[in-house]
Amino acid sequence: MPFRNLLGYFMLPAMMAVVTIAACAPRQPNEDRVPPSAMKEALSYKAPFGDTRTAPSEIVAAGKALYEGKGRCSSCHGTSGKGDGFAAQMNPTHPPRDFTNCAFQKEREDGELYWIIKYGSSGTGMVPLIPGMLSEEEGWKVVAYVRTFCAAQS
Ligand code: HEC
């Protein structure tokens, strides 16, 4: 087989493998999940009760009940918030975040978290859950609870 053919024979599969691996590589935890085209819209979303990091305790308690109950968030995100629920590994390439990671919490605006709950994160186990699973109001309560996994937040 002439050298050039040989090259083509091996190079193409090799290049395809590289592309496939790149497409499947897990993203960094802090990397944006909201696509750039939707970021402006996501950042415009605000909770009706203000900053979710300082939500009143009754809102947080309601969010916890939804997270562990009706919303079934804990089945993937874990009751610990570390992403260790029983269904967390449904798509091992894109596992759920560790919500106890304060650097991650600091990085994310409220609207980004809410947007993902509403529209899901394409290609991962995170499917759109508002309004199918939760109402908009319930969605915000859950975001307030998700914030509490970082114990050191202000
Ligand atoms: C079937 C498993 C599953 C369920 C159920 C689930 N999630 Fe997720 N969730 C994921 C995965 C996996 C990701 C990571 C997606 C990614 O990497 O892009 C994610 C991402 C998120 C994010 C975005 C985190 C970030 O990086 O910005 C939020 C917020 C979130 N989930 C909240 C919830 C809430 C609230 C519920 C319940 C109402 C819920 N999830 C239910 C699997 C799940």
What does the pLDDT look like over 105-146, one tens digit per residue? 999 999 999 999 999 999 999 999 999 999 999 999 999 999
Measured from the CB, is residue 125 less than 6 Å from ligand 1? yes
Residue nearest to atom 29 of ligand 1 (CA): 113
In a domain, 131, yes or no: yes
In a domain, 7, yes or no: no
Q: What CATH number is given to the structural domain containing 62?
A: 1.10.760.10
- Nearest CA to 107 out of 15, 48, 37, 27 is that of 27
Of 11-15, 25-29, 102-106, 129-133, the poorest mean pLDDT is in 11-15
In a domain, 45, yes or no: yes
Q: What band does 29 get if pLDDT is binned at 50, 70 and 90?
A: confident
Backbone angles phi, psi at 127, to 5 degrees: -100, 165
pLDDT on residue 14: 60
In a domain, 133, yes or no: yes
122, 102 Cβ separation under 8 angstroms: no
140: CA distance to ligand 1 center in Å?
14
In a domain, 153, yes or no: no
Instruction: Inform me whether the pLDDT recorded for 16 exceeds 60.
Output: no
18: CA distance to ligand 1 center in Å?
27
63, 112 Cβ separation under 8 angstroms: no
Instruction: Inform me whether the pLDDT recorded for 23 exceeds 60.
Output: no
Q: What band does 154 get if pLDDT is binned at 50, 70 and 90?
A: very low
Query: How many domains are contained in the chain?
Result: 1
- As given in the structure block, the two tokens for residue 141 are 């309560």
Measured from the CB, is residue 130 less than 6 Å from ligand 1? no
In a domain, 13, yes or no: no
In a domain, 22, yes or no: no
Range of the domain at 143: 29-147
State CA 63 to chain mean position distance: 17
Q: 117-137 in b/e burial notation, b at 16+ Cβ within 10 A?
A: bbbbbeebbbeebbeebbeee
Measured from the CB, is residue 113 less than 6 Å from ligand 1? yes
Backbone angles phi, psi at 80, to 5 degrees: -80, -20
Q: Please identify which residue in the block is written with the tokens 């809102």.
A: 59
What is the spatial distance between Cα 47 and Cα 71, in angstroms, rounded to a whole number?
18
pLDDT on residue 25: 65
